[in-house]
Copies of this chain bind each other. A is one copy, B any other.
Amino acid sequence: MRKLEERIMKDGLVLPGNILKVDRFINHMIDPVLFEDLANEFYEKFKDKKINKILTIEVSGIAIAYACGIRFNCPVVFAKKTSSKTLGDNCYRTEVFSFTKNRSYEVMVSKEYLDEKDHVLLIDDFLANGKALEGLIDICSQANATVEGIGILIEKVFQKGGENLRRQGYTIESLARIKGFTDDSVIFED
């Protein structure tokens, strides 16, 4: 999507270690006008699917998932990384390995909010190794919910997460596809 690529070129920052900093409009400050456009784009790509729930993972997936919830007119569930007094024990749980933090963390979704009647669109900000998405897919599988598709803002296609998931049959739409970095810039796939 041209608009997101242009914004990444303008406001993104490439850090050592193939890290793309998009704090200025996605991960710390959010541009709601851009996010409405991004949600509209996901809607165009998935409007023929029977989607009744959006599922994402806290923290940085929440705002774009919510924007999609408005567009698809359905509830948004965000998987939690920390337990709480209100969450209780009645949860689907899975382990997600974070390469950025070099450790695993647990992800939880209450069984009250996901079940076999759900047709789910998974939404997240980044796709690189795909571990977070695999966690969400595992949770959908535990719930016998159907994954109708996966919407990603920025995919690092030189890492293998997207390729692996597509090979398993999942439909993934990434609005910006990065094939590599130079020292200070981003190379998008044609």
A131 to B: closest C-beta gap in Å: 17
Q: Is the CB of B78 within 8 A of A30?
A: yes
Chain copies in complex: 2
- Residues of B close to A74: CB separation below 8 A: 32
Is A164 in the interface zone, CB < 8 Å from B?
A: no
CB neighbours (8 Å) of A78 from chain B are 28, 30, 59
**Which residues in chain A, 9-50, are within 8 Å of chain B measured between CB atoms?**
15, 17, 19, 21, 23-24, 27-33, 35-36
Q: From residue 120 to 142 of chain A, which have CB atoms closer than 8 A to chain B? A: none
| Chain A interface mostly | mixed
Cross-chain contact A112 with B24 (CB below 8 angstroms): yes
Cα distance A69–B109 when bound, in Å? Answer: 27
A29: which B residues are within 8 A, CB to CB? 75-77, 110, 113
Interface set of A (CB-CB < 8 Å, partner B): 15, 17, 19, 21, 23-24, 27-33, 35-36, 58-59, 62-63, 66-67, 69-70, 73-78, 80, 84-87, 100, 109-110, 112-113
Q: For the A-B complex with A28-B110, A32-B73, A62-B63 known, give 9 more contacts whose Cβ atoms are closer than 8 Å.
A: A29-B77, A30-B78, A32-B70, A32-B76, A36-B70, A58-B58, A59-B62, A59-B80, A63-B66
